Structure 1
Amino acid sequence: MAKTLKEAPITTANARSKLGEGEYARRLDAEAAVWYRKGKRGGVWFARWRNKGHGANYKQAPIGPANDVNDKPAEGLFTFLQAERLARHIVEQARQEAKAAADGPPLTVRLAIEAYIADRDARESRRKGREVRSDAGQRLSRYVTGQDKRGKQQAVPAAPLADVTLHTLKESDLLTWLAGLPGAVKATTKQRLVNDLKAALNATYAANRDRLDATLPAIIKHGLKKPGNGHHDGDDVASVARDNQILTDAQVGLLISVAQEIDAEQGWDGDLYRLVVVLAATGARFSQIARMRVGDVQRSQGRLLVPVSRKGKGGKSGSTPVPVGKDVLDALLPSTTGRKNDEPLLERWRHKQVTGEIGKWEKTDRGAWHSPSELQRTWDAMRERAGMPDVIPYALRHSSIVRGIRANLPIRLVAALHDTSVAMIERHYGRFIADGLDELAARAVVPLVPQDSGARVVPLRN
């Protein structure tokens, strides 16, 4: 096409008026052109191209009638510049679709999510030693790919976003999906959902860069901005929730005492009590506490080694040393005495129903805690007895962070002890940082203005 195409003066209405009936072209690239066909009643624009590497046949698509009166935009008519822009868009989209078809089945948002869910489910199953379904899979199925009727749960239809192909994905597709999420979805749930979808799309792009456009990561980034950055006030809601969960030392002590009481009443053999003690003393996440080993208790150094979180990118390993008091170390003595260093520090009994007796259960074996859901029913009883109906287990983490801030520890140290970032501390606990700085600044204030003692000041002569 590049060697035989003869270009014609079709860029202005005046130039086109001097042409006879027929077809005339202006090249877009070596394999594509915008064409002008002039007839007795006027002219029309169309695009003609050949997909590189996908056959020698030319394809064409209509654009619309030409504005042969002047070179100004008019409703229903197209100037040369408008026709050229539309022709480029038509050709680019057609070539992308041809390339995607040649490379195999088109990659869709649904396929990206299914691959991501399979990976997450496998990872969680390896960690827990049994087949489990990840939280990410539940969220993405409910709000993107849809799910069948399961027990009392009604079937949920898939969102339109699920069937969008990745080579045609636009920011508007993602923004429309975000805007369509139910208003009842909690801000924290919405943020986790966005993070999961972003991870799924980015993982598919990383594995198929030769098939997808290089602009896709930017589309994902800007289409899935963090909730609160122009989409809704999710961050503000999350911050208020944290403020409502800051407990005093007395309240933390009350929760520990209540845990000890319920532990004895329900036959936990100290397992519940020790779990709550470690959560309160370290401020760590449940997933970190559950992975602690007997050897992580370093009594001589007065500290616990808390495994780093698995949040974020890359394979993180190691532990964070967290100083604790003798009372905490004493509470953990039954879990460390006579046990091997590589055994789980915190365990709990497993139960099975007694055959033939409804409502009666018996202890079978012991094992590590798996999920925060194992604590939920007992936690409800704890907060009811403690008179704190709204408190959640994560409040122990919030309170530990604020306790460090109020003790005027460096923010970097508070972040390190709780395996998070300085930016996250400043973002969610900024008010407590400001209060602490005010107290420090107040201590530096000294009297500067002389005080009148009531006596007359007599100047001395030289």
Structure 2
Amino acid sequence: MSEHVQVDIFDEYSTTFRYGDMGKRLAEAPITTRNARASLAAGVHWRGIDPEVHLGYRKAKRGGVWLVRWRAGKGYRQETIGTADDIVREGTLDFEAACRAARDHIEVARVAAKAEAEGPAPTVRVAAEAYIQRHEARIRARTGGKLSRKAARGQLGRHVLPDEIADKLLHELTRSDLKAWRKRVTDKGLVVDTVRRVSSDLRAALNMAVELHHARLPAALPLEIKHGLAAAEGHSPVAREAQVLPDADVRRIIAAAWEVDAAEQKWEGDLARLIVVLAATGARFSQVIRLTVGDVQAVQRRLMVPTSFKGRGVKVGKIGVPVGDDVIDALRPAVAGRIGSEPLLVRWRYKQTTPTHWERVGRGPWGTSAEFAPAWKLITARAGLPAGVVPYALRHSSIVRGLRQLLPVRLVAALHDTSSAMIEAHYSAFIVSALDELAAKAVVPLVSAPAEIVAIPRPRAVGGAE
């Protein structure tokens, strides 16, 4: 059975061809070895390697180059893929290597054509903008229309959108591109945690784009994203030692919060109660601001803390966190006379009436942590703590307090709405110390001393000398 192919009528240096079916068989040129190619006349010679895919060899006076052509719609496309190994040197391709390069080239070209078939091919910029819009919409839904300045746009807007990677087509994106971007971000002098956060935001944006445009993107793209944005080998994030505060420092922070609340800011207890809950529960700011009046269970001495929005799995609605009578007493003014569905922690809202005058218009729920950032600086200064101590130190300290009290790691993780793996990764040094203390309690005396100590006489030397 003879093989019929489309016979070409094209200029050999053009990139797109149209074929007419002339019922002729493709002449399989001997291009598989250097010796075979040496006997060929100057010009282009073809050999089929896959259905509707031909590997070509263009012979010139000084060696030749490899070409590939393949069907693309109603016509064919052709491109150069490398230099033939007529003269063996670095970078040249033999026949087998040329076949592999041809197939890889066609796979990429077909993915690109597929991506462009349904409109402009998506870029990293498109992925980042879509993620930003969805993230901001979620924040507005949670905060009643308010948007934090530290939303995803802050990180992606500063480190992704202005970068050259933003214009990279998603179907062409490789792990090398992502690693090069990460290096550029790191070279800016950013701290490791910031690089990790912006990398996580970019990974989330790209993975969301893969879900939205999966039919137009290569199947290997998720793996390229995973390895391209992976943290450096051997790096394991740990909680900063300076941010784990002893209980005495935490008490000073709470005392200073009451003083700043009353004296400098006149928050009427709103600020101090926020700090008390953060310190007592070790919860994230985004969790405690969603506490309601009904979440205060005074009889059980417990706060029902809402779970965080982090993670993808199905989570329980609230976590019961034990607290002391002192915390319950501090919250009583915020509970008295209010219904259970009202937000527990609120703050005064102000309206500007003149260029220099603001007046209170009522209390409302907290929106973002930035709302108490200036007050936090006053609190840490009054408590005599270093300026670098951040509010998240209260969470670090709560976790370590549980570990030092020899609570099981799994229980500490559950109380703080995180995983045992994260506790072990970030607080491993404190786990070891706690286990040492626990193991020391199992040490019991095993050797009993004799009732009377009898000295062992020294042996006499030879000849009777002592």
Q: Closer, same or farther in 2 for the Cα pair 1:67/1:398, shift >3 Å?
A: closer
The TM-score, its normalising length taken from structure 1, stands at 0.87
Q: Deviations over 1:349-382 (max 9, x none)?
A: 11234536x3x43322100111111111111111
Give 2:76's aligned amino acid. Answer: Y
SS of residue matched to 2:427: helix
2:80 maps to 62
Q: Deviations over 1:114-161 (max 9, x none)?
A: 11001011111111112425521111010010xxxxxxxxxxxx2110
1:337 maps to 336
Query: Equivalents in 2 of 1:40, 1:345: separation in Å?
Result: 84
2:10 maps to none
1:382 maps to 379
SS of residue matched to 1:424: helix
| Aligned counterpart for 2:144 among listed residues 126, 129, 135 | 129
Give 1:315 deviation, angstroms: 6.3
| Aligned counterpart for 1:221 among listed residues 220, 223, 226 | 226
Give 1:6 deviation, angstroms: 3.5
Q: Closer, same or farther in 2 for the Cα pair 1:368/1:36, shift >3 Å?
A: same
Give 2:156's aligned amino acid. Answer: L
Give 2:109's aligned amino acid. Answer: A
Query: Equivalents in 2 of 1:43, 1:394: separation in Å?
Result: 65
1:110 maps to 125
| Cα contact 1:128–1:370 (8 A) shared by 2 | yes
| Aligned counterpart for 1:445 among listed residues 443, 446, 466 | 443
Give 1:341's aligned amino acid. Answer: G
1:138 maps to 154
Q: Closer, same or farther in 2 for the Cα pair 1:40/1:121, shift >3 Å?
A: closer
Q: Closer, same or farther in 2 for the Cα pair 1:106/1:446, shift >3 Å?
A: same
Alignment of 1:19-418 (within 5 A): 19-20=40-41, 23-38=44-59, 43-51=64-72, 55-68=73-86, 73-75=88-90, 77-132=92-147, 135-145=151-161, 158-181=162-185, 182-226=187-231, 228-229=232-233, 235-236=236-237, 239=238, 241=240, 243-265=241-263, 266-314=265-313, 316=315, 318-355=317-354, 358=356, 360-389=357-386, 390-418=388-416
Query: Equivalents in 2 of 1:185, 1:2: separation in Å?
Result: 62
Give 1:437 deviation, angstroms: 0.7
Count of residue correspondences: 430
Among the aligned pairs, what percent are the same residue?
Answer: 51
Give 1:76 deviation, angstroms: 6.7
The TM-score, its normalising length taken from structure 2, stands at 0.87
Q: Closer, same or farther in 2 for the Cα pair 1:429/1:36, shift >3 Å?
A: same
| Cα contact 1:2–1:30 (8 A) shared by 2 | no
1:155 maps to none
Query: Equivalents in 2 of 1:430, 1:59: separation in Å?
Result: 58
SS of residue matched to 2:67: strand
Question: Could you tell which deviates more after superposition, 76-85 or 107-116?
Answer: 76-85
1:8 maps to 29
Larger Rg over CA atoms:
2
Give 1:434's aligned amino acid. Answer: V
SS of residue matched to 2:243: coil
| Cα contact 2:207–2:222 (8 A) shared by 1 | yes
Q: Closer, same or farther in 2 for the Cα pair 1:63/1:455, shift >3 Å?
A: closer
Give 2:380's aligned amino acid. Answer: R
Give 1:23 deviation, angstroms: 4.2
Give 1:456 deviation, angstroms: 4.6
Query: Equivalents in 2 of 1:201, 1:405: separation in Å?
Result: 37
1:154 maps to none
2:8 maps to none
| Cα contact 2:239–2:427 (8 A) shared by 1 | no
Give 1:185 deviation, angstroms: 1.4
Give 2:404's aligned amino acid. Answer: R
Give 1:251 deviation, angstroms: 1.3
Query: Equivalents in 1 of 2:336, 2:138: separation in Å?
Result: 32
Give 1:351's aligned amino acid. Answer: Y
Give 1:39 deviation, angstroms: 5.8
Give 1:423's aligned amino acid. Answer: A
| Cα contact 2:282–2:396 (8 A) shared by 1 | yes
Give 2:37's aligned amino acid. Answer: R
